[in-house]
Amino acid sequence: MLTGNNSIYLLIMVWAAWSVLALVAAILGVGDITYKAAEGINKQVGFYHSPTWTIEKIVLVPIYLIVTSKAVIAWLQYRDSFASIPGFSAWEYRVSTFRMAFYAVLIVSIVVIFGLQWYGNYLQPILDGPNAVVAPNWIRVTTNPIELAPERLVVGISLFAGLYIGTIYWLCFSSLLLLYIAAHDLSEIHEKDKSHDNTSRYGESRAAAQALIIALYRSVICGVLMSMVIKVSVLYLDTDAPNITTWFTRDILSGFGYAEQSWNWLGDRQLAAQTSFMFLFTITSVAYLGIYRVKLAVEAAKQPLLVSHLSLTAVPTAMIMTFGLVGVFQGFSLLVLLSLIVGAWQLITPSLRFHPTTTQLPPSTSPRR
C-alpha cells in the first residue's frame, strides 16, 4: 500500500472513510451540536468543530503519508544502482527482518489505540448513559446519546470511528518504520561499499541520504503538529470555553492582558493526551534514529558532513516544548499558532543546511609517508 505505484489510493481510502463519518454526523445532526457542561456553559463538540477530525485527519495525516511513502518509493529507485554491491540484501529480505516490529505496530494499533480507547472512551460511557463521567464528544454528544439514535447504531458508529483511528495510526507507524528500514538500508551500503571508487555511485548515495534525512525530518514536524492538535482537542473539553475558537481568542487576549473574560478549567484536568504523547514519542524517536543512522554512516564513509546537529534539532525542539506548554498558562495559544506557522513552513521548505553536494570522490584515507 505504501510503496506500490497505486499508493494514491491509500489517501483516497483515508478521505473516503472520513467522508462516511462526516455524512453520518450530518445525518444524526451531531456535526454541529453542544452539550451543557456546567451551569450557563454550553460546549460545542460537533464533528466539524473537532481539530482531530478536521485538521489532523484530512490534512496532516495525508501529508504525513505522502511524505513517508514518496521517500520510500524514491529510495527503492535509488537502491537499484547499488544492487551490484557484494552481500547487499534484497529489499524484500530487509523488510522481512523487521517483521516483529511490524507485528508490534499492528498489535499496539488494534489492542491499545483501537480496542482499549474505544471501550474506555466510547462503549462504556454510552452504556452508562446519564451516569457516564467522561466528557461528551460528537458520539457521546449528550448525557444520554441513545436519545438521538438507537443504542446499537451509536455503538456501531463508535466502533467504526475507533477502527478508523486505529487504522490511521497503524498506517502512520508502518510508513515510518519503512522509512527507518530505508535508512538502515543506506547505512549497510556504506558499510559494504568501502572503496567508493565509483563517482556516480558516490553522488547518488549522497543524494539518497539527503532525501531520506529530509523525509524523516518532515515526519517529525508533522508528528509534532498532529500530537499538538490531539492535545488541544482533549484539553478543550476540560475548559469553560464554549468552543475552541473562543478558547483561543480569550487565551490570546489574556496573553496580551486585554481579556475581559479569561478561560478556566471546569474541574480536575484529564490526563490530556496519552495518545498524543505516545504518538509524539514514537515518531520523534524512530525518525531521529533513522536520521542519525544515515548521518553517521555517511560521515563514517569519509564523505562531507551532511547536515549540522543544530539545524536538525532546533525547530523540532522548540515545537516539542510548545506541545508541553499547551494549557499550562494564559497565552499559550500564541505559541501554538506560531508553531503551526513554523511547522507548515518546515513541511514546505525544511531549514536543513546541507553542504553542497559534490560528485568528486572523497580524499584518499591512506597515511602520508
Dump pLDDT digits (tens) for 322-365: 999 998 888 899 999 999 999 999 999 998 877 654 433 333 33
Give 275 or 119, the one with higher predicted confidence. Answer: 119
CA pair distance 300, 214, nearest whole angstrom: 20
CA pair distance 261, 255, nearest whole angstrom: 12
Contact 207, 253 (CB under 8 A): no
Closest to 336 in 3D by CA, of 241, 224, 190: 224
Grid cell 474505544 — which residue?
118
Dump pLDDT digits (tens) for 78-89: 887 776 666 677
What per-residue confidence (pLDDT) applies to 279? 82
What per-residue confidence (pLDDT) applies to 113? 85
Contact 30, 138 (CB under 8 A): yes
Question: What is the separation of C-alpha 275 from the centre of its chain, rounded to a whole number of angstroms?
Answer: 11
What per-residue confidence (pLDDT) applies to 89? 75
Q: Given pLDDT bands bounded at 50, 70 and 90, which one contains residue 269?
A: low
Question: Is the confidence at residue 63, as pLDDT, over 90?
Answer: yes
Interaxial angle between packed helices 99-107 and 151-192, expressed in degrees from 0 to 180 and rounded to the nearest 10? 160
Query: Exposed, middle or buried by CB within 10 Å (0-12, 13-18, 19+), for 58?
Result: middle
Please give the average per-residue pLDDT across 19-42, as a whole number. Answer: 87
Dump pLDDT digits (tens) for 171-218: 999 999 999 999 998 888 777 765 555 555 666 777 888 889 999 999
CA pair distance 45, 64, nearest whole angstrom: 26
33-47, 81-95, 242-256, 269-283, range with the lowest pLDDT: 269-283
pTM: 0.89
